[in-house]
Structure 1
Amino acid sequence: MGGQASSVEGVHVVVVGGGFGGIAASQHLKSGGLNFTLIDMRDAFHHNVAALRVSVQPGFAQRTFIPYAETFGDSFVQGRVQRVDTDRQTVVLEEGREIQYSHLILCTGTDGAFLGKFNNVASHQTAVQMYEDFVKQVQAADSVLVVGGGSTGVEMAAEIKTEYPDKKVVLIHSRIVLADPELLPSIRQQAKEVLLEKGVELLLGEKVSNLSELQLNVTQRNSVVTTERGTNLTSDLIICCTGLKVNSAAFGSSFSGCLADNGALKVNDHLQVPGFSNVFAVGDCADVNEPKMAYHAGLHAAVAVGNIANSLSGKKLTSYHTGNVTMLLAMGRDDGVGQFNGLKLPRCLVALGKSRDLLLWKSWREMQQQQP
């Protein structure tokens, strides 16, 4: 099931990164008959929207990895991109292999501590085993401290308390209000109420001062955590849900003049990197002022591939416009909060629409494979 033969002579699009933006771009290229190569460090797409559920529920991890080769055939290459040679229009892999491009779509996402992220050159079975090992750490702990009360931390605390209601779960957050600032204030308050209903203890307006000294993701009885205000608490397991950063390793040196302060690539309205009309940035690595979500990465991919097709046929390029925020938080498998197009949704609707299976069906359908 490889990419179709190019309908345009000399066109070869290279997609770097096989996350939500990368697989969406590859599917658009495939259906449009454009020759392409998708490059990723793993051998399977990771539906990381479900990464937190995978971290607490035994046996769930396997369902969240979908092999690239079964969908994209020879158009998929596993490897780590070391740099981009913009003069020669080649992507250079770590082992020295070079892949020529006429157009480049960068979809490298974010990087950070293991749980939601597994950015290593490895088989997906390695990642599955790491998640299964982490589940055992959660099961062995009587108390869990979640550091960071953004949307990831909120969802993590809810997942643990839902799966293991007898465990003590504490969420510490440096701010008073939880979850993403792009969410409606009423939804952020609702997220707090759901956590309290589930029995999660909240420590708000405090920041951990000894985080660098703590062992993360490993059960160690009665680890002492200190805050900048002098509060001391003990926990068996500490999970950090902060510190994600743009994964710029593949392009940072090649596009150093096009980087925003956070390491993302600056883009124009057409999602082109300034000075490079044939290079596009999609998803978390694009400097677009909106929440970083799988949903937005898919929208970016459609615009980027559409603009490659438009440029080849001499048509006007399409602009990407940020709309009203749609964001759903899974608060365990039985509850959720969120908004659609800026409007607040009932909790039961979010639970039914997202929380129950975390939209796994959508990725399997996108990859044109049957979920086991």
Structure 2
Amino acid sequence: MGGQVSVEGVHVVVVGGGFGGVAAARQLKADGLNFTLIDMRDAFHHNVAALRASVKPGFARRTFIPYAKTFGDSFVQGRVQSVDTERQTVVLEGGREIQYSHLILCTGTDGVFPARFNTAASYETAVQEYDDLVKQVQAADSVLVVGGGSTGVEMAAELKTEYPEKKVVLIHSRTVLADPDLMPSVRQQAQEVLLEKGVELLLGEKVADLSALQFNVTQKDRLVTTERGSQLTTDLILCCTGLKVNSAAYGPSFSGCLAEGGALQVNDHLQVRGFSNVFAVGDCVDVKEPKTAYNAGLHAAVVATNISNMLSGKPLTSYRSGNSTMLLAMGPNDGVGQLHGWKLPRCVVALGKSRDLLLWKSWREMQQQQP
């Protein structure tokens, strides 16, 4: 469809303003379709840069981009409470209802701060949360990072790069670091980079009674015990585990379409099973591939195109997963990763992602200037 096409009676509701939701909204806007983007915050969070915002003073302000400046009245701040599929209505907390002809669910994953910030908050409040954590990091002489998946690896690297004098320990329940979708050689390289930076690794161990520990607050010489009985002292604990699909907004309404863990089962066109006018994008999609901002953007392009194709009677586009592309930023000047199944040199990852964490891309796509 051309950029000026408008279809009477069409109203696309996009639930969730993460990478996938924003990409879908931008394409719907370009196609001239009536849409509403809903998110509980008033600013897009470029959470690829959340870990650096946790350690680097003043950085957080660059990681939040106001929705209204880009989408105007097509953006609504609120938390989706439920979806009424019979009435084709999205219900917000407080009772407001927004009707849809087509629905795109982009609710992403939920997890522990600072890697995730899924909280109803204003731009200023969100920035302050990260600035407050930076002060806690600065006050600590030692930091324990719990979880050695890709998030934990990047967190430990950011800490040790910004504060080389601090003791940083990474504990991981498995013996190999980073995401299983990464090639073994890339995962090994991630471990080598951490060791080069001086991060201490405690692999094959789990923290005992993790839920009883207080995260993100500096308390000198806290004792932490592992399930095997090992003990260590630390001033600050940062948790980088426990990411899960954020299905709260849609779970009850689509209970028959949920895979294990709450992700939505979809067909090749990314339509939710049993609903021709409901699509899913990003981390909440049951597709066997890494949960990345890059893949969420690919999903959004397919879904927005398919809505346009449905309206114009054209065949629908299918989504096909490609080879795993993942880049781990390990401080501003280092990184590891792979592109379409090929291992990349560390300097290439540093230039391509680590230096700016792709912030320039989000600000450009939102048509706004970085502060």
Establish whether residue 193 from structure 1 lines up as the match of residue 192 from structure 2: yes
State the shift of 1:214 in Å: 1.1
- Aligned amino acid, residue 365 of structure 1: R
Report the Cα distance in structure 2 between the residues aligned to 1:47 and 1:213, rounded to whole angstroms. 30
State the shift of 1:6 in Å: 6.3
Q: What is the match of residue 357 of structure 1?
A: 356
Q: What is the match of residue 21 of structure 1?
A: 20
Q: What is the match of residue 63 of structure 1?
A: 62
Report the Cα distance in structure 2 between the residues aligned to 1:352 and 1:314, rounded to whole angstroms. 43
Change (3 A) 1:5 1:313: closer
Query: TM-score normalized by structure 2?
Result: 0.98
- Aligned amino acid, residue 334 of structure 1: N
State the shift of 1:117 in Å: 1.6
Larger displacement relative to structure 2 (6-15 or 140-149): 6-15
Establish whether residue 272 from structure 1 lines up as the match of residue 236 from structure 2: no
Alignment of 1:201-280 (within 5 A): 201-280=200-279
Identical-residue share of aligned pairs (%): 81
Kept in 2, the 8 Å contact 1:270–1:307? The answer is: yes
- Aligned amino acid, residue 69 of structure 1: A
Query: TM-score normalized by structure 1?
Result: 0.98
Q: What is the match of residue 127 of structure 2?
A: 128
Q: What is the match of residue 108 of structure 1?
A: 107
State the shift of 1:9 in Å: 1.3
Kept in 1, the 8 Å contact 2:104–2:280? The answer is: yes
Aligned pair count? Answer: 369
Report the Cα distance in structure 2 between the residues aligned to 1:87 and 1:215, rounded to whole angstroms. 44
User: What are structure 2's unaligned runs of at least 5 residues?
Assistant: none
| 2:302 match: secondary structure | helix
- Aligned amino acid, residue 47 of structure 1: H
Establish whether residue 11 from structure 1 lines up as the match of residue 6 from structure 2: no
Alignment of 1:289-300 (within 5 A): 289-300=288-299
| 1:88 match: secondary structure | coil
Kept in 1, the 8 Å contact 2:4–2:31? The answer is: no
State the shift of 1:173 in Å: 0.5
- Aligned amino acid, residue 77 of structure 2: Q
What is the alpha-carbon root mean square deviation over aligned residues?
1.0
Report the Cα distance in structure 2 between the residues aligned to 1:324 and 1:230, rounded to whole angstroms. 40
Larger displacement relative to structure 2 (352-361 or 209-218): 209-218
State the shift of 1:210 in Å: 2.2
Report the Cα distance in structure 1 between the residues aligned to 2:117 and 2:233, rounded to whole angstroms. 28
1:90-130 CA-partner distances (Å, limit 9, x unpaired) = 10010111101000000011111111222222201111001
Q: What is the match of residue 174 of structure 1?
A: 173
Larger displacement relative to structure 2 (215-224 or 273-282): 215-224
Q: What is the match of residue 137 of structure 1?
A: 136
- Aligned amino acid, residue 220 of structure 2: R
| 1:277 match: secondary structure | coil
Kept in 2, the 8 Å contact 1:45–1:65? The answer is: yes
Establish whether residue 94 from structure 1 lines up as the match of residue 86 from structure 2: no
Report the Cα distance in structure 2 between the residues aligned to 1:119 and 1:269, rounded to whole angstroms. 29
Kept in 1, the 8 Å contact 2:156–2:199? The answer is: yes
Kept in 2, the 8 Å contact 1:105–1:282? The answer is: yes
- Aligned amino acid, residue 256 of structure 1: S
Moved over 6 A (4+): none
- Aligned amino acid, residue 130 of structure 1: E
